[in-house]
Amino acid sequence: MILHEFLDFEVLRVIWWLLLGVLLIGFALTDGFDLGVGALLPFVARTDVERRVAINTIGPVWEGNQVWFILGGGAIFAAWPPLYAVSFSGFYLAMFLILAALILRPVGFKYRSKRQSETWRAAWDWALFVGGFVPALVFGVAVGNVLQGVPFRLTEDLLSIYEGSFFGLLNPYALLAGVVSVSMLVMHGAAWLVLKTEGLVADRARTFGAYAALATIATYALAGLWLAAGIDGYALVGEVVTDGPSNPLMSEVAKGGSWMAAYSERPWILIAPIMGFGGAALAYLGFKARKEGWTMIASKLAITGIIASVGLTMFPFILPSSIEPTSSLTVWDSSSSHLTLFVMLVSAVIFVPLILAYTAWVYKVLWGKVTAKDVMENSDSVY
Amino acid sequence: MELDIVELSRLQFAMTAMYHFLFVPLTLGLSVIVAIMETVYVMTNRPIWRQMTKFWATLFGINFVLGVATGITMEFQFGMNWSYYSHYVGDIFGAPLAIEGLMAFFLEATFVGLMFFGWDKMSKVAHCVVTWLVAIGSNFSALWILIANGWMQNPVGAEFNPMSMRMEMTSFFDVMFNHVAQAKFVHTVSAGYVTASVFVLGVSAWYLIKGRHEALARRSIAVAASFGLAGALSVVVLGDESGYSATHTQKMKLAAIEGMWETEEAPAPFNLIGVPDMEERETKYAVKIPVAMGLLGTRSLTEEMSGINDLVIESEKRIRNGLIAYDALMDIRAAKGDATPEMTARFEDHSDDLGFAFLLKRYVEDPRQATEDQIAMAAEDTVPGVPQLFWAFRIMVGLGFMFIGVMLFFFIRANFYRMSFPRWSLWAAVFAIPTPWIAAEAGWFVAEFGRQPWTVDGVLPTALSVSHLSVTQVALTLAGFVTFYSILFVIEMGLMVKYIRKGPFMDVPETDAWTKRHEGRLSGRDFTQPAE
């Protein structure tokens, strides 16, 4: 096949780096509010009917939303195999935790209301809380670790050897990043609940949402300052080959500069943190002013900005190595082959617009608030 | 038994994959059966079909959610436990997995919510289309997963790149239209259709035995028997196709399944039954059917089929070839980008056998230092566990023929005996419910255990594919999965039984009225007797 040569390897790598961002943001925007609702469940909904109302706002859509996450995993595997191999095996026990939480969640949705027993339902409510809170926290913790560099090295055969421990992941900066992630997704979940429910549940969600928006602003600012002041950045040294073979060991990397150097090299990327702060501030105002639609949009803006700021700050690094910087994975040395990236791009160009179209249609069909009356009347068929 | 990291990782993968496949076949088949029922509803406008659709969809949902949930484990486990594998073949293997998400999984998962909650929110036809989209999504999902798995069995369209130390794709077309993958796909979805049909048949039979929901049960049996008959025929035919393609791509697997130690003169006989003995290297007490194996495996009377012993000799040759490739690869790597054309040529001439040199890594750090004994041991390692394969295969095939019989029986009774089913046959159908799962798990066991010692046949040995993890870590997650999955299994079975006992809920008032009106002509007769 010659067709793929029409697009440079370098260009394809950048496109797939962007698409990786799109997938992560897509995941946070859709499944993110599911996780947020899960984490909020015990607090905004106290009675059984209230809980069912909250759960049924995401009932018909969580399954599709979760595919963003699964597709994210698949796309990392296909487009960035070294990243998939190093991070998934390195964060082994953390990944297991996420898996367990994410298995618990769908089962919780589906099975919770299938029995009348109060103990049964209380147990699943707890599972739904864990299934929302734990992934939200662990994703943030993972990002916090990536920014500091991860203790792995590659052998000459490119086998990844991880030297850290599970508890090493739970360092102060990573935990702060975890709190950013939880605040942001709780804000998003609250925005969704305000949009989709009424009465007490919506009122409580409004209160929690406003606090979560404030917490997002505060912790995100703190994480940024800390990153500027106390965390080493990474930089490529010497001639940068952007279309060479995907072998991370072939490039030289130096640790010790500041990640913030990116903002003087590419000042336009400031737009990402501005979106992050601005979006969260608007969401706060939206909660206060009872503008449900605007709150949701502002919350989406904030999440997009916050996630994009991490990627843009680190570019071209994807996964720096703290113990052997030469092993670091960058956009230029840890992608799939030219042909694979092209094949994947073609399928993404065909299917992503289709996915967006039918997802939008499904949300349109399901438009409107979920009420206690709906749940009571369809008690047998809804969650 | 001392378990090392490879054994533990294999155990964990086998366990989670087989567990995942408890739910997948039912999803594959039941999604289509539900869609068929809803289509009948849309076409005839009879409420009973709507009730059937909703009832089977409820059971579908209980099963579907665990299929999805345990599928996440599969998608992540390659990176978690098989990180060298992920690096080494991710360039090829990752693509079908990602396309599965884009093309199939998104479709099924997005619409499954509407399928359950959208009844009152759209027109009948639109809802029916949604249900079909869920079914199509599920089945396409299987296509891409089997393209990925087919590539592990028959790695086409890829070559090794010494610069990035991994396999890279050379032709997506070859990967996609891999004949092994295509045969496996139809074989696997057909197995799913049979599974769902046996399930619907068994549950409906139980209702008839109990004298409950007869209108629903009879119609369900009619659908299940027709659909299941087509599925059972297809599963056997395509199983044969898989065997035929293995003749050329995985000779060792086929010889092991057959317990054929020596190369037989063409056309080879088929060992119907016997006791394979790994120590003595023979299959004892074999009952042979002359000519059958040659016919099945090669579809000719003259083509020879190699026995295990000759294949081991073949492996040894390939190991020696692989060592030349390995040596050239080390030279290329030492030259750091200044490889001479001689090195490259030497590597390319032997690179097809590079994987065989890796088999020695189990015994020696640098394969080039391997002794003659070690080479012989590595060649011997290419023989998978013969007795296990021999028996698992026969269980699967035996059950496959049984399904044809069962489906044919119910199909004939449903169509030509006015839906009268003898009581014994109803009980048989109830007790048959677990059998398709046994067949499906046995089938996967043959496919994957028979691929050993490779993860990717002839390319990457299993022992090399694992992540650099500690035994404690893997033991911990393995224990976690066992506990967690067992609890989920108990919960799932509990709910399944509860909802089957409960039966269809009369959610549509007109269903009741309609059933009463129409059952007038069926009433007053015993279902074990023909009508009138």
Q: Summarize pLDDT for B415-462 with one digit per residue, the tens.
A: 888 888 889 999 999 999 999 999 999 999 999 998 989 999 989 999
pLDDT at B280: 79
The answer to whether A270 faces chain B, any CB pair under 8 Å, is no
Residue B27: inside a domain = yes
Report the alpha-carbon distance of residue B126 to residue B435 in Å, rounded. Answer: 36
pLDDT band at B531 (very low <50, low <70, confident <90, very high): very low
Residue B28: inside a domain = yes
pLDDT band at B513 (very low <50, low <70, confident <90, very high): low
pLDDT (tens digit per residue) in A118-172:
888 988 999 999 999 999 999 999 999 999 999 999 998 899 999 988 888 999 9
The answer to whether A282 and A196 have CB atoms below 8 angstroms apart is no
ipTM of this model?
Answer: 0.90
Which of A302, A337, A333, A306 is closest to A318 using CA atoms? A333
Shared domain for B100 and B219, answered yes or no, is yes
pLDDT at B515: 61
Q: Which residue in chain B has the smallest CA separation from A102?
A: B69
Residue B447: inside a domain = yes
Report the alpha-carbon distance of residue B344 to residue A192 in Å, rounded. Answer: 59
Shared domain for B331 and B427, answered yes or no, is no
| A1-10, B38-47, B186-195, range with the lowest pLDDT | A1-10
The answer to whether B411 and B451 have CB atoms below 8 angstroms apart is no
The answer to whether B312 faces chain A, any CB pair under 8 Å, is no
Last residue of a domain, one of B337, B363, B380: B380
pLDDT band at A84 (very low <50, low <70, confident <90, very high): very high
State how many domains chain B has. Answer: 3
For A78, the closest of B66, B97, B163 (CB atoms) is B97
Shared domain for B356 and B316, answered yes or no, is yes
Count Cα neighbours of A244 within 13 Å in the Cβ-side half-sphere. 16
- Per-position b or e across B38-73, b if 16+ CB within 10 A of its CB: bbbbbeeebbbbbbbbbbbbbbbbbbbbbbbbbbbb
Give the single-character DSSP code of B268.
Answer: P
Q: In the predicted model, what is the mean pLDDT of residues A291-304?
A: 94
Shared domain for B411 and B474, answered yes or no, is yes
pLDDT at B517: 61
Shared domain for B376 and B392, answered yes or no, is no
| Subunit contact A79:B98, Cβ cutoff 8 A | yes
| A264-278, B282-296, B422-436, B476-490, range with the lowest pLDDT | B282-296
| Subunit contact A95:B161, Cβ cutoff 8 A | no
Average pLDDT, chain B: 87
Q: Which residue in chain B has the smallest CA separation from A60?
A: B113
Residue B301: inside a domain = yes
- Provide the token pair at B74: 């599969």
B291 pLDDT more than 80: no
pLDDT at B370: 87
A86 CB neighbours in chain B (<8 A) are 83
Shared domain for B366 and B401, answered yes or no, is no
The answer to whether A346 faces chain B, any CB pair under 8 Å, is no
A79 CB neighbours in chain B (<8 A) are 94, 98
Q: Which residue in chain B has the smallest CA separation from A94?
A: B80
pLDDT band at B2 (very low <50, low <70, confident <90, very high): low
Give the single-character DSSP code of B263.
Answer: P
pLDDT at B403: 94
Last residue of a domain, one of B360, B380, B400: B380
Select from A4, A70, A246 the residue whose CB has the most chain B CBs within 10 Å, as the one to mutate to test that interface: A70
pLDDT at A34: 92
The answer to whether B231 and B194 have CB atoms below 8 angstroms apart is yes
Shared domain for B417 and B326, answered yes or no, is no
Q: Please give the sequence-ordered ranges of beta strands (E in DSSP) within A263-339, or none if there are none.
A: 317-319, 329-330
Q: In the predicted model, what is the mean pLDDT of residues A348-367?
A: 90
Give the single-character DSSP code of B527.
Answer: T
Shared domain for B292 and B340, answered yes or no, is no
B527 pLDDT more than 50: no
Report the alpha-carbon distance of residue A349 to residue A15 in Å, rounded. Answer: 11
A343 CB neighbours in chain B (<8 A) are 95, 169, 172
Shared domain for B184 and B45, answered yes or no, is yes
State the pTM of this model.
0.90
The answer to whether B83 faces chain A, any CB pair under 8 Å, is yes
Residue B371: inside a domain = yes
Q: In the predicted model, what is the mean pLDDT of residues B322-328?
A: 90
pLDDT at A171: 93
B520 pLDDT more than 60: no
For B86, the closest of A81, A161, A348 (CB atoms) is A81
pLDDT (tens digit per residue) in B50-97:
999 999 999 999 999 899 889 889 989 999 999 999 999 999 999 999
B1 pLDDT more than 60: no
Shared domain for B341 and B391, answered yes or no, is no
| Residue B400 φ/ψ region, left for φ over 0, alpha for ψ in the -120 to 50 degree band, beta for the rest | alpha
Q: In the predicted model, what is the mean pLDDT of residues B500-527?
A: 62
pLDDT at B508: 55
Q: In the predicted model, what is the mean pLDDT of residues A343-354?
A: 93
| Subunit contact A77:B79, Cβ cutoff 8 A | yes
Shared domain for B177 and B279, answered yes or no, is no
Q: In the predicted model, what is the mean pLDDT of residues B115-134?
A: 91
For B94, the closest of A81, A158, A162 (CB atoms) is A81
Q: In the predicted model, what is the mean pLDDT of residues A90-119?
A: 87
State the burial class of residue B401 (Cβ atoms within 10 Å of its Cβ: 0-12, 13-18, 19+): exposed
The answer to whether A77 faces chain B, any CB pair under 8 Å, is yes
The answer to whether B53 and B223 have CB atoms below 8 angstroms apart is no
Q: In the predicted model, what is the mean pLDDT of residues B477-494?
A: 92
Which structural domain, as residue segments, surrounds residue B120? Answer: 5-250+384-506
pLDDT at A244: 86
Residue with tokens 């009347």: A377
Find residues 117-156 of chain B whose CB sits inside 8 Å of chain A: 117-119, 121-122
pLDDT at A1: 52
pLDDT at B530: 44
- Provide the token pair at B40: 């009948």
Shared domain for B444 and B348, answered yes or no, is no
Average pLDDT, chain A: 91
pLDDT (tens digit per residue) in B186-204:
999 999 999 999 999 999 9
